[in-house]
């Protein structure tokens, strides 16, 4: 029966659509997971995922060993492998939830759940939990390679636990977004595309928009450069000390647009990773991949740097300028960026779940023409 054949429906509110009971959520999640476990494609997907991550990890470590970058693979390996796992997770997760509701509705398997004592929230949260557990299975498969890359790196203790937990939370957000689009659209292809567009907006468009806003937040400021007194003829130091020059340059006030970067899942993971060094005491703090991203984003939050010191000839013994020290202390006082990003993603996820519960609740109200209800 379709909505057209059934005629106009009366708007009503089902008693307790938001009531969540653990045994109801577990029942729906169990049914969803049993379907996935029985599927042969699911096993093949995990196997292919394992091989891809393993091959990429081996290639990265082999490349670093052959080129002797820093005498070993270094922390870049851990960052690249972690980002690659996050990327694949963001690609796979939409397929696990973007067709969960409208796919069951089209197959006629959603209506039997809706007429049971299960509430709409039980159904939605159960499906979300199943999709999240399925996405975490891919993380578990890749975990040996993440640990391997961590062992050959110099990342601090706790980096694996912290970053993997943040990756898991990001996959939960993506699954929730897919659930919301699945409830809003009747066609599975449309919900899948919209979910991928949402993921692309968070991962790529945030970076694009941040770059495009440079011109909008830029103005002219005085920039000071400190440099050694080099002899132009001999190329050696002509005299101790430093000189400085001032120039009028265009600088971008990224303190107005840094929040665009905070929405990026890769920035959130990098910023959440523990650091080996103290930003206040080190002249060149944390030159690892994740650390460089972390401090670049926090620097963008602080705004343009108007003093550049090139007096350190590589020995690391030149003291910090007062302006440098003040900026580092301000940078350390800003705190982490990733909680803000996770909070924004949590709001998006809660909004998507709210929409999904409202759409799954019965009686639903007016339905689109051709929508199956039984």
Can you give the pLDDT at residue 349? 96
The mean pLDDT of the chain is 81
Instruction: Count Cβ atoms below 10 Å from residue 364 Cβ, excluding itself.
Output: 18
Can you give the pLDDT at residue 117? 84
In this predicted model, what pLDDT tens digit does every residue of 162-176 receive, in sequence order? 999 999 999 999 999
Does the structure show a pLDDT above 90 at 284? no
Average pLDDT rounded to a whole number, residues 251-270: 92
Residue 286: pLDDT band with limits 50, 70, 90:
low
Residue 3: pLDDT band with limits 50, 70, 90:
very low
In this predicted model, what pLDDT tens digit does every residue of 302-361 receive, in sequence order? 888 888 777 765 555 566 677 777 877 787 777 788 999 999 999 999 999 999 999 888
Distance CA 104, CA 118 (A): 16
Helical segments of the chain, H only: 3-6, 22-38, 40-67, 75-97, 100-107, 111-114, 120-151, 159-184, 188-200, 206-212, 259-262, 265-272, 289-302, 322-334, 338-360
Tell me what percent of the residues of the chain surpass a pLDDT of 70: 79
Average pLDDT rounded to a whole number, residues 88-92: 91
Can you give the pLDDT at residue 317? 56
Q: Name the CA dihedral angle for 290, 294, 295, 301, rounded to a multiple of 10 degrees.
A: 160
Backbone CA torsion sign across 3, 9, 11, 15 = negative
**Residues in the chain, how many?**
374
> By the 8 A CB rule, do 269 and 83 touch?
yes
Q: Name the CA dihedral angle for 247, 305, 219, 227, rounded to a multiple of 10 degrees.
A: 10
Can you give the pLDDT at residue 371? 56
The answer to whether the bond into 323 is cis (omega within 30° of 0) is no
Can you give the pLDDT at residue 364? 55
Can you give the pLDDT at residue 310? 75
Residue whose entry in the numeric block shows the structure tokens 């080996």 = 276
Q: State whether residue 245 is helix, strand or coil.
A: strand
Q: Is the pTM of this model over 0.85?
A: no
Domain extents in the chain: 3-212+339-360, 218-337
Dihedral class, residue 264 (left if φ above 0, else alpha if ψ from -120 to 50, else beta): beta
């Amino acid at each position: 029966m379709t909505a057209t054949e059934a005629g106009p429906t009366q708007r009503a509110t089902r008693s307790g659509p938001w009531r969540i009971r653990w045994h109801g959520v577990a029942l729906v999640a169990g049914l969803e997971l049993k379907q996935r476990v029985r599927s042969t494609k699911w096993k093949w997907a995990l196997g292919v995922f394992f091989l891809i991550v393993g091959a990429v990890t081996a290639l990265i470590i082999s490349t670093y060993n052959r080129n002797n970058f820093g005498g070993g693979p270094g922390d870049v390996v851990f960052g690249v492998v972690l980002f690659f796992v996050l990327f694949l997770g963001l690609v796979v997760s939409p397929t696990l939830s973007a067709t969960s509701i409208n796919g069951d509705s089209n197959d006629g398997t959603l209506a039997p759940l809706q007429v049971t004592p299960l509430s709409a929230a039980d159904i939605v949260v159960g499906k979300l939990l199943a999709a999240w557990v399925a996405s975490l299975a891919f993380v578990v498969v890749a975990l040996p390679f993440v640990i391997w890359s961590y062992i050959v790196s110099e990342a601090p203790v706790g980096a694996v636990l912290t970053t993997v937990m943040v990756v898991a939370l990001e996959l939960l957000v993506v699954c929730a977004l897919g659930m919301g689009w699945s409830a809003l659209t009747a066609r599975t292809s449309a919900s899948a595309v919209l979910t991928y567009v949402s993921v692309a907006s968070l991962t790529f468009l945030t970076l694009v928009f941040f770059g495009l806003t440079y011109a909008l937040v830029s103005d002219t400021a005085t920039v000071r450069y400190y440099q050694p007194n080099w002899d132009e003829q001999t190329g050696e130091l002509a005299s101790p000390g430093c000189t400085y020059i001032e120039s009028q340059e265009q600088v971008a006030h990224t303190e107005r647009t840094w929040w665009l970067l905070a929405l990026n899942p890769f920035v959130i993971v990098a910023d959440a990773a523990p650091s080996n060094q103290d930003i206040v005491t080190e002249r060149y703090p944390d030159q690892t991949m994740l650390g460089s991203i972390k401090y670049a984003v926090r620097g963008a939050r602080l705004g343009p740097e108007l003093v550049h010191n090139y007096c350190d000839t590589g020995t690391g013994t030149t003291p910090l300028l007062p302006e440098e020290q003040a900026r580092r202390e301000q940078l350390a006082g800003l705190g982490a960026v990733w909680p803000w990003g996770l909070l924004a993603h949590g709001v998006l996820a809660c909004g998507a779940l709210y929409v999904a519960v409202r759409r799954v609740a019965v009686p639903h109200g007016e339905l689109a023409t051709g929508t199956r209800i039984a």
